[in-house]
Amino acid sequence: VDKHYEAIVDGWPDADSGEIDLPLAADWPNRPRQQVDPAAGKASLTHWRVLDRGHGPDGQPRARLALTPVTGRSHQLRVHLQAIGHPILGDTLYARPAAATAAPRLLLHAVALTLPHPLDDTPLRLHAACPF
């Protein structure tokens, strides 16, 4: 399975692209939250690239990112971006209050998925333009 996402995040990453390699584990007392856990977490890797930098209606810096999770952990993209200081706008579970309320919904969208067709295992490629 190959997955590609777009998200709008709070702030501007310093670089134009990079990777986030932080192990993730369940935050059991606060389920369904996940957390970075160097001791007990499972390996988790996300590649990211800046598509655009701009400002929100409130004048705050915002960036549109292309995201490719190499691993597929629960909430991986959300936790990884929050961990590097650029939470996804509208993320009421992980973002700080200003970023959580900066959008009416989570600004994360699967733009392309490739998965095996259920009948013959040929690659099935699905595309959906980002609505925001």
Rounded to 5 degrees, what are φ and ψ at 28? -50, -45
Q: What single letter denotes the amino acid at residue 64? A: R
User: Which homologous superfamily is 2-127 in?
Assistant: Pseudouridine synthase (3.30.2350.10)
The whole model's pTM is what?
0.95
- Going by pLDDT thresholds of 50, 70 and 90, the confidence category of residue 28 is very high
Average model confidence (pLDDT) for the chain? 98
Predicted confidence at residue 27, as pLDDT, reads 98
Taking the domains of the chain in order of start, what are their residue ranges?
2-127
Amino acid at 53: R
**C-alpha 8, offset from chain centre:** 9
Over the stretch 30-59, which tens digit does the pLDDT of each residue have?
Answer: 999 999 999 999 999 999 999 999 999 999
Q: What is the pLDDT of residues 69-118, one digit of tens each?
A: 999 999 999 999 999 999 999 999 999 999 999 999 999 999 999 999 99
Which pLDDT does position 61 carry in this prediction?
A: 98
